[in-house]
Amino acid sequence: MRISRRSFLGATGASALGTALSLFRPPGAEAQHDSNAPPMKTVRTKQTPSICPYCSVGCGILVSTREGKVVSIEGDPDHVINEGSLCSKGMSLYQVAVNERRLQKVRYRAPGGDRWEEKPWEWALAEIAKRIKKTRDATFLPREGGKVVNRTEGIAFLGGSAITNEECYLHAKLARALGVAYLEHQARI
């Protein structure tokens, strides 16, 4: 077997090879643990197959995590759909999980205002509900040309592809219950 210089991978491989060769002693011989080398620091990485959350192609991805934190996301080379490749959006998926520019708190800018202010979630959810109710009541159209239509023309509802299947179902339910006709998905725009 030919061993090139590359085989040693620097000092790590060379010193470890020496240590390993010392393991080739006959059974019963005294083991010598006289190395002064400190124990090597190690990391454990978990690879989990998943599906890209963006468009309906459904490319396979491999998510690498260490201690619960995402360290990299790549295309799954064994996935039948994309065979390891990803589009530019899929390739930047890591930035969805780890991004210091991602907003962590609710920010609100009043109509006509020129600055953002931080608001609590409770306030934001109540405010959204209040405004949806107001717009819905103001623009609800029960009949048109003698036919019952029961639709809300003042609201458009936009879903996103990072939303799960089950969440999409709930969103569609909510939108139809409000009478929304303009229900769309971000990937089709």
Partner 1 sequence: MDLGEWLRGECPACGHGVALAHVDDREGRRTLWCVHCGTPWPFPRIPCAYCLNGDPETLSLLSPDSETAYRAQLCSLCRRYLKEVRNGEPLESFPFDAAYLGTVALDLLAAGEGYIQESPLMARRAEGIRETSSRGETP
Q: Binding to partner 1 (CB under 8 A): which residues in 51-70?
A: 62
Q: Minimum CB separation from partner 1 for residue 21, in Å?
A: 9
Tokens coding 68? 């619960």
Rounded Cα gap, residues 68 and 52, in angstroms = 19
Task: Please identify which residue in 9, 81, 149, 156 interacts with partner 1, judged by CB under 8 A.
Answer: 9
Task: Name the segment binding partner 1 (CB under 8 A); options: 24-32, 100-108, 117-125, 144-152.
Answer: 24-32
Q: Is 46 in the site for partner 1 (CB under 8 A)?
A: yes
Q: Is 37 in the site for partner 1 (CB under 8 A)?
A: no
Task: Please identify which residue in 58, 77, 120, 160 interacts with partner 1, judged by CB under 8 A.
Answer: 77
Counting residues that bind partner 1 (by CB under 8 A) gives 37
Q: Is 121 in the site for partner 1 (CB under 8 A)?
A: no
Task: Please identify which residue in 40, 80, 103, 177 interacts with partner 1, judged by CB under 8 A.
Answer: 40
Q: In which residue are the tokens 């139809």 written?
A: 176
Asked if 46 and 65 count as a contact pair (C-beta separation under 8 A), the reply is: yes
Q: Is 110 in the site for partner 1 (CB under 8 A)?
A: no
Q: Is 87 in the site for partner 1 (CB under 8 A)?
A: no
Q: Is 47 in the site for partner 1 (CB under 8 A)?
A: yes
Q: Based on the number of CB atoms within 10 Å of its own CB, is 65 exposed (0-12), middle (13-18) or buried (19 or more)? A: middle
Distances (CA, A) of 56 to 150, 153, 154, 165: 31, 28, 28, 11
Does residue 82 sit in helix, strand or coil?
coil
Q: Minimum CB separation from partner 1 for residue 165, in Å?
A: 21
Q: How many other C-beta atoms lie within 10 A of the C-beta of residue 180? A: 20
Rounded Cα gap, residues 77 and 49, in angstroms = 10
Task: Please identify which residue in 53, 55, 70, 84 interacts with partner 1, judged by CB under 8 A.
Answer: 84
Q: Binding to partner 1 (CB under 8 A): which residues in 88-107?
A: none
Tokens coding 120? 């609590």
Asked if 90 and 78 count as a contact pair (C-beta separation under 8 A), the reply is: no
